[in-house]
Amino acid sequence: MKRSGKYGLDRSKPPKPGAAGKVSFPRYFERRYSNGLKIFVVENHHLPIVTVGFVVKSGAAYDGGKPGLASVTCEMLTKGTRKRTATKIADDIDFIGGSLTHNASWDSSQLFVSVLKNHLAAGFDVLQDVVLNPRFPEGEISRVKTQRLASIQQMKADPGYLADTKFAAVVFGDHPYGNTVSGTEKSIGEIRRNDLVGFHKRFYTPDNSFMVFAGDITPAEAQKYVSKSFAKWKGEKDGTEISEPSKKAVGRKVFIAEKAGAVQSSVRVGHLAIARNNPDFLKALVMNTLLGGYFSSRINMNLREVHGYTYGGRSGFDARALPGTFEVSADVRNEVTTETVDEILNELRKIRDTLPSRDEMTMVKNYLTGLFPIQLETPQQVAGRLIAIELYNLPRNYYRNYRENIRRITARDVRVVARKYIRPDDVAIVLSGSSADIAKKLEKYGEVVVSGTNGASTTDK
């Protein structure tokens, strides 16, 4: 029944969407100092807040034989300097209503301070102090290690964590990416103060670092702060480079991280894939979004809506400075574990063998281009995009042309990159669950290897 509103509108039909609004990536200032340090400044004067990020282009990939070293080093920077104790650092930031955070990923180590504009001098003073003058006091090292060990113990109770760590170990093998950013109980126990001092000396150098200023600040103001504290900073990265992960075929093998008594299986299916600066990345992003990257994706509709195996199935490229992984993941009931793997492999074959429909392509591209403006709403979000540009050596106009480049991608492009980067016959099938309930059925995919939560092999079948 047609229902007319006050202005004669047919309210039985949803309104047609309007034309997409124009969104452009903000202009930003960039400068490189003679010591190699780069700075980026993105201005946004709507609120009197400034965020400053300090980024080192070395993370957990450079841990060496002690996984967790980059992460612990980054955390320890906030635990004491030559003139501030850990408590003093926290008090100085709290007094001005600011925040000081730290984070280490595979490819970088990052510290951020965020403060009101009128407290920027005090906040920046703390940031430069923790970066340039860390003391690594033994008492704080012991405390951080104790907390880290407790966190690892807690994570090992999570089936998803067990599946993720086993998947990384299988796909990357002996490459540093096969470890965990947070470390292991063994490696954390072995970290000593001289390891932290050495990591800081080797990698926290001006030619291996950059800074991003975002918010209520001008380039001139940012340069004054940098010139005062960092312009005369000396040091050079030691030249250590990490080789790419081996691209040898995995074949069809099944690995189970034992979780005795579990009624669900955490499933991971995938293989080695691409680096973040791969020229096909945006095409792969569109392809993966259609496959398993948003709620209406094929994998989620199949596993959740059609079969009811899970609350959610997804896929993604973990693209890093070096090639990362392509991975499909889902948590499912034990009794439908093999059926879930079957459907995942079916979807991987389908995305390679058939062209996406026009409706699918329209939905996915509208989703990605529509989401993009939301990801640029704050100066901090823009800073995150600038960090990606510098960290992964992306074109300077990468995000300025992002939406237009997404719109240009065709169904044929999607099939081409699927055939190039999706390999259903060369996947690692990794699960965390009860081997007594799922191992036998999984033998149809290939050899089944079961390991305990400590990674030690317990049985071959």
The pLDDT profile of the chain, 461 residues, written as one tens digit per residue, is 455 555 566 777 766 666 666 678 999 999 999 999 999 999 999 999 999 999 999 999 999 999 999 999 999 999 999 999 999 999 999 999 999 999 999 999 999 999 999 999 999 999 999 999 999 999 999 999 999 999 999 999 999 999 999 999 999 999 999 999 999 999 999 999 999 999 999 999 999 999 999 999 999 999 999 999 999 999 988 888 899 998 876 677 899 999 999 999 999 999 999 999 999 999 999 999 999 999 999 999 999 999 999 999 999 999 999 999 999 999 999 999 999 999 999 999 999 999 999 999 999 999 999 999 999 988 889 999 999 999 999 999 999 999 999 999 999 999 999 999 999 999 999 999 999 999 999 999 999 999 985 444 443 33
* 370 and 295 inside one domain: yes
Sheet holding 38-43, edge to edge: 29-32, 38-43, 209-215, 49-56, 109-116, 99-104
- Within a 13 Å sphere around the CA of 253, how many CA atoms are in the beta-carbon half? 15
Q: Do the Cβ atoms of 222 and 41 come closer than 8 Å?
A: yes
Position 3 in a domain:
no
* 33 and 111 inside one domain: yes
Question: Letter for the amino acid at 37?
Answer: L
**Beta bridge partner(s), residue 210:** 38, 55
* 257 and 294 inside one domain: yes
Q: Are strands 313-318 and 325-333 parallel, antiparallel or unpaired?
A: antiparallel
Rounded to whole angstroms, the Cα distance separating 427 from 352 reads 15
Nearest 5°: phi and psi at 296? -85, 15
The SS3 assignment for 455 reads coil
CATH number of the domain bearing residue 217: 3.30.830.10
Structural domain tally of the chain? 2
* 258 and 371 inside one domain: yes
Count other C-beta atoms under 10 Å from residue 240's C-beta. 11
Position 18 in a domain:
no
Residues in the chain: 461
**Beta bridge partner(s), residue 257:** 432, 451
pLDDT of residue 7: 59
* 181 and 278 inside one domain: no
Positive or negative, the CA dihedral 223, 227, 230, 231 is positive
∠ CA 202-388-274, rounded to 5°: 90
Strand stretches in 295-348, DSSP E: 313-318, 325-333
Position 178 in a domain:
yes
* 94 and 179 inside one domain: yes
Among the listed residues 74, 58, 76, 80, the one whose alpha carbon sits nearest the alpha carbon of residue 126 = 80
Tokens 């096909």 belong to 280
Q: What is the pTM of this model?
A: 0.91
The SS3 assignment for 75 reads helix
Tokens 């841990």 belong to 63
pLDDT of residue 411: 98
Position 20 in a domain:
no
pLDDT of residue 185: 96
Tokens 């993604």 belong to 316
Q: Do the Cβ atoms of 445 and 251 come closer than 8 Å?
A: no
* Domain limits for position 45: 29-229
Position 248 in a domain:
no
* 212 and 269 inside one domain: no
Rounded to whole angstroms, the Cα distance separating 458 from 461 reads 9
Q: Are strands 447-451 and 49-56 parallel, antiparallel or unpaired?
A: unpaired
The DSSP 8-state label assigned to residue 175 in this structure reads S
pLDDT of residue 457: 41
* 373 and 282 inside one domain: yes
Rounded to whole angstroms, the Cα distance separating 88 from 94 reads 10
Position 15 in a domain:
no
Among the listed residues 448, 447, 455, the one whose alpha carbon sits nearest the alpha carbon of residue 179 = 455
Rounded to whole angstroms, the Cα distance separating 401 from 44 reads 21
Among 197, 229, 261, the domain-final residue is 229
* 270 and 225 inside one domain: no
* 193 and 268 inside one domain: no
Q: Give the residue ranges of DSSP H helices in 50-192.
A: 69-76, 86-95, 120-132, 138-155, 159-172, 185-190
Sheet holding 313-318, edge to edge: 313-318, 325-333, 264-272, 428-433, 253-258, 447-451, 457-459
